[in-house]
Amino acid sequence: MKTLLVHGHRGARGNRPENTLAGFAFGVEAGVDGLELDIRISADSQIIVHHDERLNCDLTRDCSRRWLRHNGPAIYDLTLAELKKFDIGRINPTSELSKQFPDQVSVDGERICTLCEVAEFCNDLPTGRPILNIEVKSDPFRPHATPPPHEYALLLVRELKKLELIDNSWVQSFDWRILRQVQQLCPEITTCYLTSQAPGYDTVGNQNNSPWLAGFNLMEFNGNIAAAVLAAGGRIWGPSIDDLSNQRVEEARAVGIPIHCWTVNRSDEIKQALVWQLAGVTTDYPELAVRKVHRI
């Protein structure tokens, strides 16, 4: 019996181009329970599936299939029609990113897709719909790159209702302001509160009034992040696997918050997640994770 849910990170980032229909198809074929994907808003208010704030020159070619010379323009400055002109079906082989994912198979012609297109893809699957784990990309330090939290949440909730995804998706974000707005608009939606304590990307900070945490001061919870997630109304805590410890896992268990961690790519990390009896993992290599979960 499967004891750990597996979500494919950006579809199957280690195997196929990220956040593409080809990547989501690979994840489904690998047997994932859910597909993790990133969303942003286009200039014409469309919910598009993309991670970076600006077009990434390591991942993007123009209509002549020439690599962009530099990052940009910003996703929020382009319409959906303009975004559809770019090819995101392979990593630039001269980039450092290509060394990080040497096993990724290119799929030329893949375009930036919308949340609606992903939902339609899932609806047509003969094996049933996987959970859509929708990460809202938002940064409190870069308010110009996305709509204001309430407007952003309203666009998303309306789309989830239109696509009949309320019961077959969850919404996650490092920006807890977005999640709080989503909960107010539609309490039925499952929310996963992401955190990172990496030196270059620390959303928890010194535990005192981090702008990512929507006013929740971790000092008031004795540093117990899971307790803060519970108080904020979250149903799931999504930390990095690198930030977890026996103490953190026990704290979450004590308050009744399940842990779904990211990005779990190594066999030893999968084994540790099973030992900790976590709810799930998000991985760049869903085929490996599914195989390990079934075997152990």
Element (H, E) at 202: strand 201-202
d(Cα 111, Cα 17) in Å, to the nearest integer?
A: 10
**Tens digit of each residue's pLDDT (9 = 90 or more) over 135-172:** 999 999 999 999 999 999 999 999 999 999 999 999 99
Q: In angstroms, rounded to a whole number, what is the distance separating the alpha carbons of residues 253 and 125?
A: 35
Residue 295 has what pLDDT?
A: 78
Q: What's the pLDDT score for residue 256?
A: 98
pLDDT in tens, 207-227: 568 999 999 999 999 999 999
191 pLDDT higher than 60: yes
Length of the chain in terms of residues written = 296
Instruction: State the average pLDDT for the chain.
Output: 96
Helix (H/G/I), strand (E/B), else coil: 125:
coil
- Assigned CATH topology for domain 5-54+110-295: TIM Barrel (3.20.20)
Q: Among 5-19, 88-102, 282-296, which is the least confidently predicted range?
A: 282-296
Spell 251-277 as b/e; 16+ CB within 10 A means b. bbeeeebbbbbbbbbeeebbebbeebe
Residue 157 amino acid letter: V
The strand pair at 34-41 and 47-49 is best described as antiparallel
Domain ranges of the chain: 5-54+110-295
Asked whether the predicted pLDDT for residue 96 surpasses 70, the reply is: yes
Residues 276 and 1 sit within 8 Å (Cβ to Cβ): no
State residue 294's pLDDT score. 82
pLDDT above 90 (res 33): yes
Going by the DSSP 8-state scheme, the letter that residue 6 receives in this structure is E
Give the per-residue pLDDT at 2: 57
Q: How confident is the model at residue 99 (pLDDT cuts 50, 70, 90)?
A: very high
Q: Which pLDDT belongs to residue 3?
A: 80
Q: What is the DSSP letter of 140?
A: T
Provide mean pLDDT across the span 107-128: 96
Q: Is this prediction's pTM over 0.85?
A: yes
The model's confidence at residue 206, banded by pLDDT at 50, 70 and 90, is: low
pLDDT > 70 fraction of the chain, expressed in percent and rounded: 98
Instruction: Please tell me the distance from the alpha carbon of residue 155 to that of residue 105, in angstroms, as a whole number.
Output: 33
Q: How confident is the model at residue 205 (pLDDT cuts 50, 70, 90)?
A: confident
